[in-house]
Structure 1
Amino acid sequence: MKTLTISVAAYNVESTLDKTLASFNDPRVYDDLEVLIIDDGSKDNTNQIAKKYENIAPQTFKYIPKKNGGHGSTINKGMELATGKYFKVVDGDDWVDTSSLVKFIEDLKSQDSDLVLTDFTEMYPDQSKNINLIKNVEPAKEYTWKDKIDIKRVVLHTLTVKTNLLRKNNVHITENCFYVDVEFVTWAAYVSQTITYFDLYLYKYRLGEADQSVAKANMLKNIKMQEKVSYQLVKMYDSFTKNNKMLPNQEETIFNTFRRSIGSTMRTYLLMSLGEAKSRTKTFDKNIKRLSLASYQRLNNDNFIRLIRKGNYSMLPLAKVMYRIWVKKYGY
């Protein structure tokens, strides 16, 4: 059994995939690492780049072509085929720090935690920013959700999870849709019991490019996909809370992940005309309330969502102006 399987979501990524795969290509990890390059029906030269690395190290790199089904389908296929004890997702336009990967895999060999968390770096065209979402934990020490740990939220870039845990709980991610990584990380946090953190800036997350799904223009274009994922998260959170299996610390971490996605959809509405922004926000919020009153009420703990709802959405025009200023200044 391999120590780690990395599932690479690859769709028309010929311009970035070589950098992604090169970051895994180190003979020191060949025996312990499996890289599944899940080609989601690409129409460019993604397959040629993937096959190049498969030829370099066939014991590590495996090219998996499939019909187009969206990001979630690549995660589902990766979970199905993975042979590693641990499972991690890396997008085909991102990469890892190779030296950190070598150390990380060595550390994983002695691990048995359900979740293994690391740090990541946001990589912009002209700068980079290290991100740490985990506080009050000792590196390499195993914790449970009963412990007083501070995990701000779980994101794809920080997460590595036991493969058999995903399979045992029949984790399945929505297909034919963007923005579903939050479903994956929410599931992982829910089914886990033990957590270990390593202070490694392992994942390099590319941002600031116009072709990305998280670019504002594309988020506007794909707003229905954001809504679809948001509604799925509402149903997931409602189901998880009704099962009464979450510990308080676990619930808080999952809620912080969940509310950020709901808030992101609402912020996308703020980029629309005032009339459409208000109409879409009210409909979206009404649907959340219809799907789960408990989730709707819990979301009032988010300062931004509470502001948007205030006075029957009377603060929305001010929020819209403020958000446009923010986007112009910071770009996100």
Structure 2
Amino acid sequence: MHKVITFGIPSYNAAKDMDHCITSILEGSNYATDIEIIVVDDGSKDETADKADEWEARYPGIIRAVHQENGGHGIAVLSGLREAQGTYYKVVDSDDWLDAAALSTMLSILRGFEERDQRVDLFISNYVYEKVYEGTHTAIGYKFALPRKKIFSWDQIGHFRLDQNLLMHSLCYRTDVLRESNLPMPPHTFYVDNIYAYVPLPRCKTMYYADIDLYRYFIGREGQSVNEATMVKRLDQQFRVTRIMMESYHLYSDVESSRLRSYMMGYFTMMMAICSVLTKLSEEDCADERLKTLWNDLKAYDERMYRRARYGVVGFFTNLRGRAGDKTTLGLYRLASKIFKFN
């Protein structure tokens, strides 16, 4: 049967969480046979591989298990993409889940595109920070930034607030768009979801935004990649991902739409700001020098991007110098974290 969408589930030592994730998709789709779930076992050391095979045996034709040597999140995403048969592809991390009602709505919309032979390159929906241990839920939507209930182009988008970046959780690409993007996913690297949410955008010519809270993003596990202490320890990986994003485009010459260019510049500026803030939090002796090198390399690569990232409001306040500057920068970071609840 033709598959409308493939859900790729990168899974590493995910035996404890994956059942909830998979069940949410099955129940939300009403066990539809025009969807596909690919569970990618990324060289797990627990029971993930066996569980993936059991799910495949229970729902043949809907669920497939893929096993690979450990390559990291990005390589698992690419493995799912390589195997995908659906017109659309959406990544759902194994410890997250999808809302049933919202998923049903999304599938109805995607099936409508297929029936009317309407090409939509990118389907966008909301996501929710689920801080389970705190019992709080924070929805991130795109009202006023994106048109609703219509197919649109980048020239029709509005202004994105600082908390409205299009993250992996909110994106569902056409599979062919992702494949043509040749995503430069480095192995054994966290934070590659930023590459996934950035590099394919100029290839997306038509978009649709559904104001539904689809993706439930679990926050709060000790050692989670977005845990602040973990991010500081993995500062080298944050630098690696930011550099890949930097070298993907000369934004002011490669991106035709001025509104898309503005959005992507804002996203990239935020990545540089994160590198700057985490450097201030780091106790590594070489962290300051690595940050200086990154800024210098950006200036050499594209001076206009450098000026925008370094001397805009965000770049200015995340790169204040001296002890007083560090204190001010980190104070603003803490305030932003409380307001936007991003870690």
Pair in the same fold by TM > 0.5: yes
Checking the alignment, whether the CA contact within 8 Å between 1:32 and 1:105 is kept in structure 2 is no
Match of 1:132 among 130, 141, 144: 141
Rate the CA distance shift 1:327–1:159 in 2: closer, same or farther, 3 A.
closer
Aligned to 1:103: 105
Aligned to 1:197: 209
After TM superposition, the structure 1 = structure 2 runs for residues 75-86 of structure 1, keeping only pairs within 5 Å, are: 75-86=77-88
Mapped pair 1:154 → 2:166:
yes
| Structure 1 residue 314 displacement after superposition | 7.2
> Structure 1: any 5+ residue segments left out of the alignment?
none
Q: Please, which moves more after superposition, 309-318 or 80-89?
A: 309-318
| Alignment partners' CA distance in 1, 2:335 and 2:9 | 35
Aligned to 2:190: 178
Aligned to 1:207: 219
| Structure 1 residue 232 displacement after superposition | 0.8
| Alignment partners' CA distance in 1, 2:65 and 2:309 | 42
- Equivalent position amino acid for 1:297 in 2: R
Encode CA deviations 1:90-147: one digit per residue, 9 max, x unaligned. 1111111122212211111122211110001100022111111342544330001122
- Equivalent position amino acid for 1:132 in 2: G
Encode CA deviations 1:262-304: one digit per residue, 9 max, x unaligned. 2222221121259866545434322332333232112136423
Rate the CA distance shift 1:150–1:308 in 2: closer, same or farther, 3 A.
closer
Rate the CA distance shift 1:320–1:169 in 2: closer, same or farther, 3 A.
closer
Aligned to 1:119: 126
| Alignment partners' CA distance in 1, 2:220 and 2:19 | 19
Q: Report the TM-score, using the length of structure 2 for normalisation.
A: 0.87
Checking the alignment, whether the CA contact within 8 Å between 2:13 and 2:46 is kept in structure 1 is yes
Q: Please, which moves more after superposition, 318-327 or 8-17?
A: 318-327
| Alignment partners' CA distance in 2, 1:147 and 1:138 | 7
Q: SS of the residue aligned with 2:183?
A: coil
Checking the alignment, whether the CA contact within 8 Å between 1:190 and 1:254 is kept in structure 2 is no
| Alignment partners' CA distance in 1, 2:80 and 2:22 | 16
Rate the CA distance shift 1:246–1:134 in 2: closer, same or farther, 3 A.
farther
Q: SS of the residue aligned with 1:186?
A: coil
Mapped pair 1:250 → 2:252:
no
Q: Report the TM-score, using the length of structure 1 for normalisation.
A: 0.90
| Structure 1 residue 201 displacement after superposition | 0.5
> Structure 2: any 5+ residue segments left out of the alignment?
114-118
Match of 1:227 among 216, 219, 239: 239
| Structure 1 residue 192 displacement after superposition | 0.5
Rate the CA distance shift 1:103–1:318 in 2: closer, same or farther, 3 A.
closer
Q: Please, which moves more after superposition, 143-152 or 267-276?
A: 267-276
Checking the alignment, whether the CA contact within 8 Å between 1:121 and 1:205 is kept in structure 2 is yes
Aligned to 2:273: 263
Q: SS of the residue aligned with 2:123?
A: strand
Aligned to 2:53: 51
Q: SS of the residue aligned with 1:23?
A: helix
Encode CA deviations 1:296-320: one digit per residue, 9 max, x unaligned. 1121364231124456997234323
| Alignment partners' CA distance in 2, 1:283 and 1:147 | 37
| Alignment partners' CA distance in 2, 1:321 and 1:279 | 23
Aligned to 2:116: none
Checking the alignment, whether the CA contact within 8 Å between 1:278 and 1:313 is kept in structure 2 is no
Number of residue equivalences: 330
Checking the alignment, whether the CA contact within 8 Å between 1:208 and 1:331 is kept in structure 2 is no
| Alignment partners' CA distance in 1, 2:263 and 2:319 | 23
Checking the alignment, whether the CA contact within 8 Å between 1:4 and 1:85 is kept in structure 2 is yes
| Alignment partners' CA distance in 1, 2:209 and 2:295 | 36
| Structure 1 residue 5 displacement after superposition | 0.6
Checking the alignment, whether the CA contact within 8 Å between 1:155 and 1:257 is kept in structure 2 is no
Rate the CA distance shift 1:36–1:91 in 2: closer, same or farther, 3 A.
same
Match of 2:325 among 315, 319, 322: 315
Q: Please, which moves more after superposition, 280-289 or 160-169?
A: 280-289
| Alignment partners' CA distance in 2, 1:170 and 1:286 | 27
- Equivalent position amino acid for 1:166 in 2: L
Q: SS of the residue aligned with 2:247?
A: helix
